[in-house]
Structure 1
Amino acid sequence: MIELTQIGAQLIFIGVVFFLVGLIQGALIPAVKNSRMALSGHMTAVQCGMALAIFGVIWSLVVLPLFLEVFVAYGCALGFTLIWLGITVASVTGASKALPIAGAGFSATVTTEFTVKIMVRSGSLLSLIACTLLVFGLLPILGQS
Structure 2
Amino acid sequence: MIELTQIGAQLIFIGIIFFLVGLIQGALIPTVKNSRMALSGHLTAVQCGMALAIFGVIWSQVVLPLSLEFFVAYGCALGFILIWLGITIASVTGASKALPIAGAGFSATAAFEFMVKIMVRIGSLLSLIACTLLVFGLLPILQ
Q: CA deviation at 1:66?
A: 0.1
Alignment of 1:1-145 (within 5 A): 1-143=1-143
Q: CA deviation at 1:44?
A: 0.0
Moved over 3 A (4+): none
Q: CA–CA distance in 2 between the matches of 1:53 and 1:19? A: 9
Gaps of 5+ in 2: none
Cα deviations by residue, 1:84-109 (Å, 9 ceiling, x for unpaired): 00000000000000000000000000
Gaps of 5+ in 1: none
Q: CA deviation at 1:74?
A: 0.1
Q: CA–CA distance in 2 between the matches of 1:24 and 1:68? A: 33
TM normalised by structure 1 equals 0.98
Percent identity between the aligned chains?
Answer: 90
TM normalised by structure 2 equals 1.00
Q: CA–CA distance in 2 between the matches of 1:99 and 1:113? A: 10
Q: CA–CA distance in 2 between the matches of 1:3 and 1:120? A: 33
Cα deviations by residue, 1:38-65 (Å, 9 ceiling, x for unpaired): 0000000000000000000000000000
Q: CA RMSD in A?
A: 0.2
The count of corresponding residues between Structure 1 and Structure 2 is: 143
Q: Match of 2:115, as an amino acid?
A: T
Q: CA–CA distance in 1 between the matches of 2:86 and 2:112? A: 10
Q: Secondary structure of the residue that 1:91 maps to in structure 2?
A: helix
Q: CA deviation at 1:117?
A: 0.1
